[in-house]
Amino acid sequence: MSHAVEIVEVGPRDGLQNEPGVIATARKVALVDTLSRVGFRRIEVASFVSPKWVPQMADSAEVLAGIARAPGVRYGALAPNLRGFEAALAAQADEVAIFGAASEGFSQANLNCSIDESFARFAPICAAAAEAALPVRGYVSCVTECPYDGPTPPEAVARVAARLRALGCYEVSLGETLGRATPRAVARMLEAVLAELPAAELAGHFHDTAGRALANIDAALDAGLRVFDASAGGLGGCPYAPGAAGNVATEAVAAHLAAAGYETGLDRDALDRAAQMARALRRKERA
Ligand code: HMG
Ligand code: MG
């Protein structure tokens, strides 16, 4: 098994979408530009969703227009429907991500539709993306537990992951949305998913509410996964619970992987600068 591990930086999207209040576009652009010097190959920077649902991402086109694109870095955006895909394409996102859920309750809460209905929206996105030669990444939320439906059966995750792959997603990121999973539950879930997809087409996306995200990453490494999503400075968290943890912090994941002998190819000084900037942005926002 390879000792190279890729960290996908998702802070400018998954982190900032959860921050309370409005963050100036220029500050988001500055954060992305700092992250562009760290050595990531993929940074998720935007989300073309309804601004009524997620006002924090309303300036996504401006963010993509304002950043200095570094060579070798792909700048990604979320798209929930064809309209979002067209906006991402117009803003020159390098790839898009569609996002489904393994539970009906979360699908309804997040996308206002059932799982089947969400796939009816994803299919034309994937067709249009293929035409435009844009890679599509897929997310599955609530891979171990759903806030509305309770524990998620591993087979439900495997089914949704397989449907995303069948639509043409080059990779499926498994979202532990609540951040409360145990490594045992993660291992059980992965066993079911790996019966459908190879580890090389999977990523782990762990939130860190219970402080077990690194242990969960270890469980996923044991299962063969080599791509993990993370947010510099641990950006994110619940707007209704100030201080609650969001995505696992990129700098913590990088240090953890380095200690275990994995290569991430990231410049640790540049990452520390980006993490400091992310934390300062969050402090200013909450001051
Ligand atoms: P809806 O209300 O069912 O859809 O929302 P609609 O078609 O009736 O549209 C409602 C309004 O949104 C209309 O505007 C549309 O024009 C507009 P109005 O007439 O009310 O003024 N609209 C759009 N505006 C901009 N861009 C668009 C767009 N589409 C419609 N693309 C919809 C359906 C999908 C739009 C809504 O549910 C939505 O925006 N959901 C997004 C929720 C979201 O962004 N969640 C966070 C990201 S997922 C995540 O964080 C999990 C992840 O990190 C993995 C993990 O941790 O688990 C990925
Ligand atoms: Mg997330």
**Inside any domain, residue 80:** yes
For the Cβ of 160 lying below 6 angstroms from any atom of ligand 1, the answer is: no
**Inside any domain, residue 248:** yes
**Inside any domain, residue 276:** yes
- Residue that is written with structure tokens 């694109």 in the block: 69
**Inside any domain, residue 83:** yes
> What is d(CA 137, CA 164) in angstroms, rounded to the nearest whole number?
9
Residue 29, domain CATH: 3.20.20.70
Q: Which of 113, 142, 169, 238 is catalytic?
A: 238
* Atom in ligand 1 nearest the alpha carbon of residue 110: 42
Which of 48, 49, 110, when mutated, tests ligand 1's pocket best, judged by the most ligand atoms within 8 Å of its CB? 49
pLDDT of 126 > 60? The answer is yes
**Inside any domain, residue 63:** yes
For residue 110, which ligand has an atom nearest its CA?
Answer: 1
In the residue annotation, 238 being an active-site residue is answered as yes
pLDDT digits (tens, 9 = 90+) for 33-67: 999 999 999 999 999 999 999 999 999 999 999 99
pTM of the model: 0.96
Distance from Cα 100 to the centre of ligand 1, integer Å = 12
For the Cβ of 159 lying below 6 angstroms from any atom of ligand 1, the answer is: no
Distance from Cα 89 to the centre of ligand 2, integer Å = 22
Q: Structural domain of residue 36, as residue ranges?
A: 6-141+227-281
Q: Which residues of 40-76 are buried (b: 16+ CB within 10 A; e: fewer)?
A: bebbbbbbbbeeeebebbbbbbebbeebeebeebbbb
**Inside any domain, residue 115:** yes
Residue pair 117/123 in contact by the 8 Å Cβ criterion = no
Which residue has the CA at smallest separation from atom 31 of ligand 1? 84
pLDDT-derived band of residue 282, with 50, 70 and 90 as boundaries? Answer: confident
> What is d(CA 87, CA 128) in angstroms, rounded to the nearest whole number?
12
β-pairing verdict for 42-47 and 74-78: parallel
Distance from Cα 13 to the centre of ligand 1, integer Å = 14
> What is d(CA 153, CA 5) in angstroms, rounded to the nearest whole number?
28
Residue pair 5/258 in contact by the 8 Å Cβ criterion = no
Overall number of domains in the chain: 1
ipTM for the assembly: 0.98
**Inside any domain, residue 127:** yes
pLDDT digits (tens, 9 = 90+) for 188-225: 999 999 999 999 999 999 999 999 999 999 999 999 99
**Inside any domain, residue 222:** no
